[in-house]
Structure 1
Amino acid sequence: MPPVTRDTSQRRLQISELVRQHGSVQVTALARQFGVSMQTVRKDLRYLAERGVMARAYGGAIDSSVVGGAPAEPHYETKRTAHLDEKRRIGARAAALVKPGDTIALDSGTTAIQLAEALPDIDVTVVTNDFGVLGALTAKANINIVMLGGELRRKNMAFYGGLTVEALDALHVDKLFLGVDGFDLERGITTHYEPEAMLNRKMVEAARVVIAITDSSKFGKVCLHRIIPVTGLNTLITDTGAPDDITTACQSLGVELLRA
């Protein structure tokens, strides 16, 4: 174990070595080991991540070589048009689960936009942080829209940040429709963007039922930031291209599987 040091450059060098040795590090453990605050450790990890030494992860960091094969986040317009037929079917199948009087949360994402498009103009409340979902619902006068504020991330046209997370503290929803960037049976449901993972976990806490909506291209992919394990789902809605191991896993885990 490296000796306790408050010298910034030496501490960062030792953190880098720990990441190489163990593959990952945690903020709380590093703060305790080096006798500094967690805020200081987060600054160290941010500094090292910006220089490619490691990659930030929820609660710590991991060796950048471990995630070298993780898929890069596609451009927004690419995501809007990719697998569009499947997303439309999934959106329509998900919309059919929404009943008058429901309060639902729609996660950001292009599949969520298709769900919003398919929603009938009925008495429901929709909570979302997605600009595209807002646009799809604006003309539906019977739908009450609760837009979560924050800072707009133009890469996926959704709002994130402390304000966004705090807005969920007083909210409870009947159903959460959760989009994903990666879906792996062992590593769970993952996303490219850490603030999105944090917001999604908060949405899960606020929801009575958690429903993942994803086309089959996301299965087997693992992104950097984990949202929840697959066991955290009540229902999975996907297309007919989902592999057999997904069907088997859903059956064994008690996750309802709906194909569109």
Structure 2
Amino acid sequence: MVRDTSERRLRISTMVREHGSVQVAPLAERFNVSMQTIRKDLRFLATRGVMERSYGGGISADAVNVTAEPPVEAKRTSHTDEKMRIGRLAASMVLPGESIVLDSGTTALQIATFLPDDEDITVLTNDLDILSVLATRERLNIVMLGGMLRRKNRAFYGAQTVAALEDLRVDKLFLGVDGFDVEFGITTHYEPEAMLNRKMVEAARQVIAVTDGSKFGRVCLHRIINLDKIHHLVTDDAVPDTIRSASERLGFQVHEA
């Protein structure tokens, strides 16, 4: 049991560097202090540059290799061919009679582009650009998840958006990512997005991650879920061996576009 604050923070700092991340609840139990005390420790270490705060804990500053979110204009013009192939393949996984959620992002926008115009398919989204694409269809059922508009990526977030999913159950979630790492899982730059994405995961029978190979090995500040929570990964043909091994170990299927 460590009671001295400076010694405890030194120990936590060492654990962060050795393991890459720490969580509040296990630390509180390990050091026999309250979770509030641990949160103060993590805030202190964050101000010293040892780590970055994340949902429920902290990530080593060295591990967070994507510190800035690129503007949406840059996302639209990067890896366009790969995203188009991924979008076409992911859209082919949607069956008549299913309800799906399309997460915000340029890869999910490609899925919307290739979706069949079927009146038996219901699509939920919080992305304004995806809504614009789907609104041109004559038969698709469309549900817009409202809330506060974040202009940086033209999508809606907040308590209203999360509440809209509270009593819903959908067949499939197509989840875009900012970071996809075997150890840290699926991560994003924006905390309200992580919170909304976790609610989407709860509402879905199947979780399908969609990303091009540039996101592999990247870790952003806010964790959405670990990789054992996904059922499928739709990506391009740049799949590293670490991801293939993780798919076999954790039970998700890899689809290459």
- Tell me the TM-score range normalised by the shorter chain: 0.7 to 0.9
TM superposition score normalised by structure 2 = 0.82
Q: For each residue in 1:172-194, what CA deviation from the matched residue of structure 2 results, as whole angstroms up to 9, or x when unmatched?
A: 10000011111111221111111
Name the CA distance, whole Å, in 2 between partners of 1:61 and 1:245.
23
Query: Aligned to 2:255, what secondary structure does the other structure show?
Result: strand
Kept in 2: contact 1:90–1:111 (CA 8 A): yes
CA displacement at 1:60 relative to structure 2: 3.8
Question: Aligned runs of 1:21-40 on 2, under 5 Å?
Answer: 23=16
Kept in 2: contact 1:172–1:206 (CA 8 A): yes
Query: Aligned to 1:189, what secondary structure does the other structure show?
Result: strand
User: In the alignment, what sits opposite 2:68?
Assistant: 72
CA displacement at 1:51 relative to structure 2: 9.5
Query: Aligned to 1:237, what secondary structure does the other structure show?
Result: strand
User: In the alignment, what sits opposite 1:8?
Assistant: none
Name the CA distance, whole Å, in 1 between partners of 2:245 and 2:38.
42
Query: Aligned to 1:88, what secondary structure does the other structure show?
Result: helix
Distance 1:43 1:79, change over 3 A: farther
Letter in 2 for 1:251: E
Q: Which of 238, 251, 254 matches 2:235? A: 238
Letter in 2 for 1:92: R
Distance 1:251 1:14, change over 3 A: closer
Query: Aligned to 1:135, what secondary structure does the other structure show?
Result: helix
User: In the alignment, what sits opposite 2:123?
Assistant: 126
User: In the alignment, what sits opposite 1:220?
Assistant: 217
Name the CA distance, whole Å, in 2 between partners of 1:192 and 1:15.
29
Question: Aligned runs of 1:1-260 on 2, under 5 Å?
Answer: 20=13, 23=16, 55-62=52-59, 65-67=61-63, 69-123=65-119, 124-260=121-257
Name the CA distance, whole Å, in 1 between partners of 2:44 and 2:128.
31
Name the CA distance, whole Å, in 1 between partners of 2:176 and 2:162.
17
Over the aligned positions, Cα root-mean-square deviation in angstroms equals: 3.0
Name the CA distance, whole Å, in 2 between partners of 1:142 and 1:43.
53
Kept in 2: contact 1:113–1:132 (CA 8 A): yes
Name the CA distance, whole Å, in 2 between partners of 1:249 and 1:62.
21
CA displacement at 1:118 relative to structure 2: 0.8
CA displacement at 1:86 relative to structure 2: 0.6
Name the CA distance, whole Å, in 1 between partners of 2:41 and 2:160.
25
Q: How many residues align?
A: 249
Kept in 1: contact 2:124–2:143 (CA 8 A): yes
Query: Aligned to 2:174, what secondary structure does the other structure show?
Result: strand
CA displacement at 1:226 relative to structure 2: 1.2
Name the CA distance, whole Å, in 1 between partners of 2:238 and 2:224.
23
Q: For each residue in 1:104-136, what CA deviation from the matched residue of structure 2 results, as whole angstroms up to 9, or x when unmatched?
A: 001111000000011111121111111111111
CA displacement at 1:52 relative to structure 2: 6.8
Identity of aligned residues (%): 57
Gaps of 5+ in 2: none
Distance 1:179 1:248, change over 3 A: same
Q: For each residue in 1:34-67, what CA deviation from the matched residue of structure 2 results, as whole angstroms up to 9, or x when unmatched?
A: 87x96x998998899699786331024456x345
